[in-house]
Structure 1
């Protein structure tokens, strides 16, 4: 009876009244004390409202049952496949939707529906990975800012592959509580590539010059990221794997890593290129002059003429004693920056060989030396300016003692004592004060 009456009423009622009636009926179904037959009739009406021509009615139904665990799953799924302003309500809140259903809705939904899925309080790695593959730019930004999303590393890298040139997406990923080293390197590479392309489009730089600057920026970023990792860890290994896959793991990058003191990254590079165990590689790089090191170096496919530089760098870093010949601690990498004493030691060893085949290597080392010296000069100038600023700053006033040394002159005899007020404002330069210490001495002398 209730079904027939509601349907008869809804045929002539305006959309706003139907929307209000459906919402009330849905709340009565979920939270009211209905009998079994009344509950079954109400459920039939809710199913029928999925075909209501007005989106106001369907949205009211979605808002009423979206968060309910007791809602009919078929109605939830029907609303999830509706137009985006209706489906987004259910997709963002319903606990009844499975991962498979969410992935299906993401594949056929627009950016509004995809963003609603991306902003769910808890998101499984499967759904997050599916979004990374098919979602729009706006939905991926929503996914990146959602701290409740379990976002795997490969999903982050896929997001960067698709929309790495978008600065908002990069900023959203960098704002996450933790991102792997490989993802940080991918973000840096995307930013460097975008800036290089922009400089070429504006005719500010030639393509060759722009590519060289971008390559140098990527390598600098890789060194900074490696400096934030442990000496050799899973994160360092993942960074080396990413650098190899992306084509950045060159002999020049490996040498730069050593010149920056990143022995952990160099070990991870050899492990990635040779397939040998990390302990075995770590033992070999402690003996750079040995034939075993020469064998693993050759197995990694690194250029033979550069072996003298790699050996000199390992010696300079002092893998046996922990110090360079100049006393530089090998474990004190300066945030991934090039280390001038190491470069100078390697340069001296290469020049002593007097081998013409090392001319390009020496030129590279000279460029590294100039970069390191310039960075050292910047830091020295910054420290000098800070020291000058501290010296020029006025001394900080000491805290006032509990018993002040100076008090205002007491009131004259013509004024009653009750009119004398305690001075609370600081004394001006023209105020007359009394030295209590001197006054005490005069009284004692009298």
Structure 2
């Protein structure tokens, strides 16, 4: 009866009076015991407010529902259809807006609407995918800053495809803990390339030296990702490295010298088509003849087989606590052991490899110095070209 009186009163009430009544009706809808007849009447009243010609009234209703709880479906539809301030307020805070409605709002709304959606608590994967498909960089930055948003790998890829030139977007993606390792590696590699180009353009480094430092920096970053990657993520990372031409013999050797043979295991499995478990057993077998066969089947350079054998022997000789460290850092002792093994190689084969290993020694020593005293002194630039072995990409 009271709600019916409201319906009569609303026909002559001012917009400010109807806006004030919106909060009362919403609280009654959620908190008051209502008969079936009352429920029908209050639904009529709320739909009337949602369709009100006054933006003040619609906004008051949206804010009231955003604070109190879910709104009836018809009321939601009426508010969202306007795509105005009231709709944005409801989209930003309303608990009753479902994923399908949000996807429709992404498709039909403007940047303000999309930004409100991107900032919502717990943005679902379908909604994030819709934003990745059509939203502007500014809106995507809001989404990436939303730590509660569920963003799928395909949505990350779509953002990168559409706005990969944006430095702000790259940085925001790298700050996401759920960014897949293969995408993180791609972004880091891209940034290393840009930095190398910058140093060459400024005349600070020669192209050869800048290129060498770029590869080394990217490889160091890749090993840091490998150290944290799950088995599934590592497989996807290897697929990316093969496709991008960044899976090099230098990187594979580095992985062993970081006491983490997982990258070599997964890479050999991908390159040969052998089961990963079989490759893992081969690497752990003391007889290196089986490893040599897999190594050659993968198409790795025959002249470097001795170095890989020495590195595997060094891994096998590690104490348990060192073998399980997986921190992506080179082991100085292991690098020196491989250098000793290379002394038996011919000068033609050993030359480029020894140059690479000496760089590994410098890196490992610098890390040790850094642990003892921070900050470590900056290395003086030199113009030594990076060895070809460090840049030789593998074909699948």
Partner of 1:234: 232
What's 1:360 paired with?
Answer: 352
Q: Using a 3 Å threshold, how does the CA distance of structure 1 residues 196 and 19 change in structure 2: closer, same or farther?
A: farther
Higher relative contact order by CA 8 Å / sep ≥ 6: 1 or 2? Answer: 2
Which of these residues, 283, 286, 290, is aligned with residue 284 of structure 2?
Answer: 286
Structure number with higher helix proportion? 2
**Shift in Å, 1:103:** 2.0
Structure 2 distance, partners of 1:270, 1:356, is: 26
Matching of residues 8-407 of structure 1 within 5 Å? 8-9=11-12, 13=14, 15-32=15-32, 39-66=39-66, 71-83=71-83, 85-156=85-156, 158-159=158-159, 165-167=166-168, 170=171, 174=175, 176=177, 181-182=181-182, 184-196=184-196, 199=199, 204-205=204-205, 209-228=209-228, 233-287=231-285, 290-317=288-315, 319=316, 321-322=317-318, 331=323, 333=325, 335-379=327-371
SS at match of 2:82: coil
Distance 1:155 1:138 in 2: 16
DSSP 3-state at the match of 1:9: coil
Structure 2 residue matching 1:71: 3-state secondary structure: coil
Q: Which residue of 1 aligns with 2:380?
A: none
Does structure 2 conserve the Cα–Cα contact (< 8 Å) formed by 1:160 and 1:187?
no
Query: Which deviations, in whole Å up to 9, do the C-alpha atoms of 1:125-151 show, x marking residues without a partner?
Result: 333333344333344344334343333
Structure 1 residues 77 and 276, CA gap change in structure 2 (3 angstroms): farther
Give the structure-2-normalised TM-score: 0.76
Distance 1:345 1:329, change over 3 A: farther
Q: Could you report, residue by residue, the CA deviation over 1:199-248 in whole angstroms, capped at 9, with x for unpaired residues?
A: 46666556655444333222111122323457xx3343344334334442
**CA distance in structure 2 between the partners assigned to 1:384 and 1:337 by the alignment:** 16
Deviation per residue, 1:278-323 (Å, 9 max, x gap): 2211111124764432332233232333323222221232x2x446
* Pairwise CA RMSD: 3.9
Gap change, CA 1:154 and 1:243, over 3 Å in 2: farther
Partner Cα distance (1:96, 1:383) in 2? 52
The gaps in structure 1 that reach 5 residues or longer are 386-446
1:125–1:150 Cα contact (<8 Å) kept:
yes
C-alpha change, 1:70 and 1:143, in structure 2 (3 Å) is closer
Q: Does the aligned pair in 2 maintain the 1:289–1:311 contact within 8 Å?
A: no
Task: Deviation per CA, 1:36-89: give whole Å up to 9, x if none.
Answer: 556545534543444544432221121122466663202212323433532232
Which secondary structure does the structure 1 equivalent of 2:328 belong to?
coil
Equivalent-residue separation in structure 1 for 2:143 and 2:376 (angstroms): 45
May I ask how many residue pairs the two structures share in their alignment? 373
TM value normalised by structure 1: 0.68
- Determine the C-alpha separation between the residues in 2 that align with 1:306 and 1:255: 9
Residue 128 of structure 2 contacts residue 151 of structure 2 at CA under 8 Å; is this kept in 1?
yes
